[in-house]
Structure 1
Amino acid sequence: MTYRRPNLRSITSISVAWAVGRLSGMSDRVERKEVFAYKCSLRLFLKDAGVEFNDVRYPYDDTWPAASAVLKEKGLSVTGRVPVLEYEGKILTQHLAILRYLARELGEYDGNTSLEKYFLDAVADVYNDWRIQWVNNLGNVTDKFRNEVVPDYYNVLGRFYAQQEGPYLLGERITYTDFVVYQSIDNDSQIGTLPPCGRSTHHFQ
């Protein structure tokens, strides 16, 4: 039997759950700015791919711990975290893994060769290392994060992007990793830690 790749663009039964929160304890410039869902890499990816989805949002406030517990109890999230994507009766979690899965299902947004796939995965790992630090600094940005972690992260990104001609990691072809890089740029901008950067950020902005 020949496997036929599903046409995600023709399926409307995709549901995605997010936590929508407001950053508190930041500068007045970003106070009350909702950033946890609206510019999420997965949301942007789905919109770029033309995939329709049901948008389920959970407020990231004092009700979130209870909502997170319910997600775990119902088997909707092993970790109790979001985003969570429900597709064809399957529950998908962890945003990087979801993005890779969708790229494979669509046959787009990924590398064409094993080496290209490795390259994108490597940059995604760099992003994930940054993201852990960013989450730890929400509400209380440390000097180390602002002056060491963030500049080093964007310097590394710049070296990766400089390896190809064009605005994206693989040149003219946007990939799932470019979406998470954009999310990191936007997230740092929201908390006032985005440094002056080179072409890797100018194109996204």
Structure 2
Amino acid sequence: MSQPVFHYLDLGRLGRGEVVRLFLKDAGVDFKDIRYPYDATWPAASEDLKKKGITLTGKLPVIEYKGKILGQHIPILRYFSRELGSYEGDSNFEKYVVDAVSDLYIDWRVQWVASLKGVTDEYKNKIVPDYYNLVSRYYAERGGPYLLGDKITYADFAIYQSIDNDERTGTLPTLPENLVKLRKAFEQRPRIAEYIASGRNSKV
């Protein structure tokens, strides 16, 4: 496999890019990890990346791979799942379930980003509990620990990231037991455990 070049902001475990990073780590994909400071220098850096054709929108994450520019974090996960022949389910129905739960995560992400400007009672007491309870129903259908039972998929990385990010912003509710089970199993995966222990993604 050609070496992907991963561009993202230096946000530690927060944000969309960490979902991709966790996925690549777990898959054992060797990639070049370029991180940009999210400070006063970022607007100029964003414009420079647009001029170089690395990002069409000036936003990250982006992966350069085999001469192509891949943007949007969930489509990136889908792309590499297909490239690897894993992480997306086997049957059309399994792939549908993975896509459906990933879409729930995308809806959550929009609300989470908005909450960074100020957490509302609606977000903390309704939106977040409703989200995890709905996601939990999908996990309950196959007994876990992952969405498709014992087969991890790219959706599991997204759901794990939502749990982690809500915890870091103080908005994580009491989780349904099957999502507690997911988190434990996810963090015990050898490459994920090694990555977390390294502290490379510990910045908030």
Q: Answer whether TM exceeds 0.5 for this pair.
A: yes
1:87 aligns with 2:65: yes
1:108 Cα offset (Å)? 0.4
Does the 8 Å CA contact 2:16/2:61 hold for their aligned counterparts?
A: no
Matched with 1:15 is: 5
Equivalences, count? 183
**TM-score normalised by L of structure 1:** 0.85
Pick the aligned partner of 2:139 from 123, 137, 161.
161
| Larger RCO (alpha carbons 8 Å, 6+ apart) | 2
TM-aligned CA deviation for residue 129 of structure 1? 0.3
1:56-71 to structure 2, matched below 5 A, reads: 56-71=34-49
Residue type of the partner of 1:132? V
> Structure 2, unaligned stretches of length 5 or more?
185-204
TM-score normalised by L of structure 2: 0.85
Q: Does 1:198 pair with 2:168? A: no
2:188 corresponding residue in structure 1: none
Question: How far 1:38 moved relative to its partner?
Answer: 10
Alignment-derived partner of residue 110 in structure 1: 88
Identical columns (%): 54
Give secondary structure in 2 for the equivalent of 1:40. Answer: helix
Structure 1 residue matching 2:35: 3-state secondary structure: strand
Q: Report 1:154-193 matches (<5 A).
A: 154-193=132-171
Greater than 4 Å deviation, 4+ residue runs: none
- Spell out, residue by residue over 1:113-150, the C-alpha distance to the aligned partner (whole angstroms, 9 max, x if none): 11111111000010000000001111411111111110
Report what 1:142 is aligned to.
120
Quick one: distance in 1 between partners of 2:162 and 2:109? 7
In terms of fraction of residues, the more helix-rich structure is: 2
Q: CA deviation at 1:79?
A: 1.8
Where structure 1 has 5 or more consecutive residues not aligned to the other structure, the ranges are 1-7, 22-33
Residue deviations 1:3-60 (CA, integer Å, cap 9, x gap):
xxxxx3xx3x211011113xxxxxxxxxxxx433698111111011000000100111
Partner Cα separation in structure 2 for residue 165 and residue 144 of structure 1 = 30
Task: For 2:166 and 2:13, locate their aligned partners in 1 and report how far apart those are by CA, in whole Å.
Answer: 11
Say which one has the larger Rg.
Answer: 1
Does residue 20 of structure 2 align to residue 42 of structure 1? yes
Q: Is the 8 A contact 1:20 1:35 kept in 2?
A: no
Matched position secondary structure for 2:162: helix
What is the CA distance between 1:200 and its match in structure 2?
3.5
User: What is the rounded CA distance, in whole Å, between the counterparts of 2:86 and 2:169 in structure 1?
Assistant: 32
